Amino acid sequence: MQDLRRKIYFDTDAWRRIGDALSGGALSAEMRQRIVFSPITLLELLSQLALQKDKGQRVLGQVQSVYNCVDPTHREILPWPNVAIAHFGLRVTLKGDSFEAAGRNLNICMSAQDADEVQPGALKVMDALRQMKATTVGLSKQLVEVWRKGNPKPESFDEVWLSVLARGLGIDPSRFLAADVAEALSAYHEFERQRLLVAAQDPMYNFEKSANDILDAQQLVYLADSRLSFLTGDRGYLRRIKKSQQKTRIHLLGRRPLNTADDVDAVLRAILI
């Protein structure tokens, strides 16, 4: 039977604060069943074990707090963004890249006593994240190049966006109406439209420096699932997204105190119950 309960996922900024708060205790059983994980967040967390050697032990603790956050019998990870885009935006079932390698490294982290133990796996995850960024940067460049050739105006964005998005997934864009896809993925679409309009109008725009913005945008594709809410530590989402009805399911963690599992539980209940 399909689980229709409202659930929540986090970006990396939010999870690091939540992970610290959960280091000394677990969420309530009810809230543990409401947590799902974005693969982008998990990749970023695991890669930070390689980047922050001096802070690695704290990051390891944040990763290990996953077990205090979820039902131990069921750890739910959302699909890769391209799979979610195909499913929710294009109604196409797409076989995604396997999360097995990152999953293995996550399991290693759970039993590690010291951050040095997970350095080799963290370096592999960091390489995978770099490849993911390179792919998404390439698609963004392609979209902007096509858009520039046709005089980049906001009203012409949707058709170009759909064409590059669908072709990047190996799907014929002529099968779909841009307006329908934009509505299904409205938060993601609006964020990308704002970001890429700036890029299209600036010939000196540096796509590589904005690679993190591209991953931030992809966190939004999961909001096409009406059961899901998104908890973030980044105010930029709400600054860029003004019109999408999915905006109501984007929640800013802010600077509210999060010191214990009870604090986290209260925040999640306020959003989900």
Q: Which pair of structure tokens corresponds to residue 211?
A: 């690679």
Tokens 């725009």: give the residue: 205
139 versus 101: which is more confidently predicted?
139
The residues, any chain, with a CB within 8 Å of residue 141's CB and separated by 6 or more, are 207
- Is residue 42 very low, low, confident or very high in pLDDT (cuts 50, 70, 90)? confident
In a domain, 1, yes or no: no
2 located within any domain: no
Domain count, the chain: 1
Lowest mean pLDDT among 9-13, 19-23, 58-62, 257-261: 58-62
**What is the mean predicted confidence (pLDDT) over 87-106?**
72
Q: 228 lies in a domain?
A: yes
User: Pick from 141, 225, 130, 153: which is nearest to 186 by CA?
Assistant: 225
pTM for the whole structure: 0.88
Q: Is residue 140 part of a domain?
A: yes
- Structure confidence by residue, pLDDT tens digits, 182-228: 999 999 999 999 888 888 888 888 888 888 888 899 999 999 999 99
- Alpha-helix runs per DSSP H in 154-185: 157-168, 178-184
Q: Are 10 and 231 in contact, with CB atoms under 8 Å apart?
A: yes
Domain that holds residue 132: 7-272
pLDDT at 13 over 80: yes
Q: What is the mean pLDDT of residues 85-99?
A: 81
Nearest residue to 264 via CA among 23, 72, 41: 23
The reply to whether 11 falls in a domain is: yes
**How far is residue 104's CA from residue 99's CA, in Å, rounded to a whole number?**
9
Judge residue 64's burial from the number of C-beta atoms within 10 Å of its C-beta, 0-12 exposed, 13-18 middle, 19 or more buried: middle
What integer pLDDT is reported at residue 100 of this predicted model?
56
257 is a domain residue: yes
Q: At what angle do helices 211-218 and 119-149 cross, to 10 degrees?
A: 90
